[in-house]
Amino acid sequence: MSSLYSNDLHSHQISVQQSTFGTWWNRRFGSWLYSRQIRSNCVMLLYQHGPQCLRNISSTLRSNSVLNMFSSCIFISLLQTDLLREGEVPVPYPTKFKDAWDDLSVKMPCSEKNLFPMETEDAILRYNTAHAKKWDFTALNLLCTECLEHCEVQQLFDTVLPAMVDLALKAPRLCTMPIPLLKSRMNQSLTLSQEQIACLLANAFFCTFPRRNSRKSEYGNYPEINFYRLFEGPSPRKIEKLKTLLCYFRRVTQTTPKGLVTFTRQTLNNPPDWESSQTQLTRLHITCEGTIEEHGYGMLQVDFANRFVGGGVTGHGLVQEEIRFLINPELIISRLFTEALEYNECLIITGAEQYSKYSGYAESYKWVGIHKDETPRDDWQRRCTEIVAIDALKYRHFLEQFLPEKMTRELNKAYCGFHRNNANRKHLSAVATGNWGCGAFGGDTRLKALIQFMAAAEAGRDVAYFTFGDAQLMKDVHEMHAFLTESRVTVGQLYDLLNQYFNEVCKNCHTTRPDVSLYRFIYETVSSPAAYFTMDHNNQNDH
C-alpha cells in the first residue's frame, strides 16, 4: 500500500471477493482524497475543488520536416522538446504548474478555481453529487464479481487502481501548462507525452474533469471525457471495454511510456474544383482480409469517426472507431480538448501506441490480450502511426447520399483528411481505409469507395482498401477501379458521372433504391460510343 494512504486505510482490510468497486473507491480513494491530511497538502489542490509505394510514412515521420506539412498550424507542445532523448521520459514544460480557467483551455481538476461539488456509493459520486442518482457501477461490479479470477481482482484492487490514483494525482506536476482547446475553425497542433496522456486518462477514469458531465454545459460541443457511462449497466460490451482499458492502465503504471503523441486539427478552406479536375486515379490494393490497424502499417490510417471524435467509446458504441480508441487508448484523450468536427475539418493523430489485441466486432468484440507495439519512433519519439479522424454524413434514406451537395461534402471531408499542405507527393504514404460511413450511417459501400479514390487521387496518395470480409465488395470495387483506370477516367469525369447518376436515375426514383445500380450506370455510360469519344478527346487535350 502506498505510504500516501492514511493509517486507518493502511490497517483496514478489505475482502476483495466481497468488495464492490464503489466500496473500494469510497474506502481507499475517497477517504484518502478528502482527508484533512491530504487537503492540507499542496498536491491536493488538484481535487480539493472538485509495397514501398504504400509505406512511405516511416521515412516522412522520422524527420521533423513532417511539421512543414502543417505550415499553417499553430504548434503547442507541453514538453521541453529540446530535452527529448530516446529512451527517456519527456520533461514537462513549463517546470511549474501554471493555472488557467478560461474558454481557451481545458478546465483541469487541479485548478484552484475548480469549485466542483465535493459532497456522493463512491468517491466519484462525492464530487459528482448532481449525478448521484443517475450513475451506477454495474459493469465494474460485474467485471470484478463474475468475469475476473480471484487473483486478477486482487491485483486490480491492491495494485492497479491505487497506481491509477497516484497517476491521476500527478497532474499538477506532469501537466504544468494549460491544455489548449482545439476549437473549430482553428488549425492547431498539440503535442503531449504519453505519460501526460496516461495521467489525464486516469483522471477521466475517475471522472474528475469539471463541467464535463452534461451536454448543457459550456463543453456541450465537445465529446464526453469522464468515464461514467462506461461503468453503467450489465452490457457485455462494457465488460470487454473495461478489460481493454484496464490492460492499458496496468501497463502504463508498471512502466512509464516515454514517447509523444501529436493531435492536429486541420481545416480545409479551399477545396478542389472537382468538376474540372484532370487527375487520374492512383493505385489500389484491395483485400477482404485483415484490418487497417494491423495491415495498414506505415500508411495513413482512417478512423471512421463521429463528429464527436471517439463516438461511443466511453458508452455503448463498439464499431470501427470505438475499437481503435480502445486498443490505442491515447486516442481517447483527444475527446478532452477537441471540439466537434465541422464539415470541412479533420483530426490527425500521430504517435498513438497500440496496447491490446482483440477479436470480433460490436457484440462479438472480445479483449484478447496484451499487444506489444514495435512500430518505430520518429525524431520526436512518436510512434510512426498516423491516424486521421474523418466523420461521414449519416443518411436517413438511401437515395439522399447521391444528392450532389452530399457527395461533394464527403469528397471534401475525405480530401481534408488525406491532403497535406506543402508535402512532397512522392513521400506521401498510401491511405489505409475501408467502408467509411457505411453500416449504421447508411452509406453505400460502392459509392464511398469511389469517393475515397477520388479524394486520395487529388491528394496524391495510393489506396489500400479493406472490405472487412466482404469478398463480393472486394471484387466489385477492384473491377470498377481497373475499368476506370484503363478507360483513363479522370477525377473530374468521375465526379460528372456521379452527378449524372443522380439526375438520370435517383432524382425521379419513387422506390427506396434505384433499379439501376451506380456501377452498372458507370459501366454503361463510359462504354457508350459518345462517352468514349468525349473522354478520349479530353485525355488527348491533356497531353
**DSSP assignment string, 76-132:** EESB-GGG--TTSPPPBSSSS-----STTB---TT-TT---------HHHHS-GGGT
- Print the domain residue range for 302: 7-387
Which one of the listed residues 122, 224, 232, 321 is annotated catalytic? 321
What pLDDT is attached to residue 59? 42
What pLDDT is attached to residue 29? 47
Which one of the listed residues 195, 224, 303, 391 is annotated catalytic? 303
Annotated binding-site members for substrate: 306, 320, 361
371 part of a folded domain: yes
Annotated binding-site members: 306, 320, 361
DSSP structural state of residue 296: -
Distance between CA atoms of residues 221 and 224, nearest Å: 9
For the question of residue 515 being annotated catalytic, the response is no
pTM of this structure: 0.85
Distance between CA atoms of residues 221 and 318, nearest Å: 22
Cell numbers at residue 185, please? 475553425
510 part of a folded domain: no
What pLDDT is attached to residue 76? 84
Q: Which residue has the cell 489548449?
A: 180
Distance between CA atoms of residues 390 and 343, nearest Å: 9
What pLDDT is attached to residue 25? 52
397 part of a folded domain: no
488 part of a folded domain: no
* Torsion 232-236-241-242 (CA) sign: positive
Please report how the helices 236-254 and 161-168 are oriented relative to each other, as an axis angle in degrees rounded to 10: 70
What pLDDT is attached to residue 82? 72
Terminal Cα-to-Cα distance of the chain (whole angstroms): 75
- The domain total for the chain is 1
What pLDDT is attached to residue 87? 82
Longest dimension (CA), the chain: 88
Closest CA relative to residue 110, chosen from 102, 95, 100: 100
What pLDDT is attached to residue 53? 37
φ/ψ (deg, to 5) at 39: -65, -30
Side-chain half-sphere CA neighbours of 525 within 13 A:
21
For the question of residue 218 being annotated catalytic, the response is no
For the question of residue 86 being annotated catalytic, the response is no
Closest CA relative to residue 47, chosen from 112, 128, 121: 112
The residues of the chain scoring below 70 in pLDDT are 1-73, 115-135, 531-543
228 part of a folded domain: yes
129 part of a folded domain: yes
What pLDDT is attached to residue 136? 75
356 part of a folded domain: yes
What pLDDT is attached to residue 534? 58
285 part of a folded domain: yes
Closest CA relative to residue 460, chosen from 44, 56, 28: 56
What pLDDT is attached to residue 11? 29
What pLDDT is attached to residue 50? 30
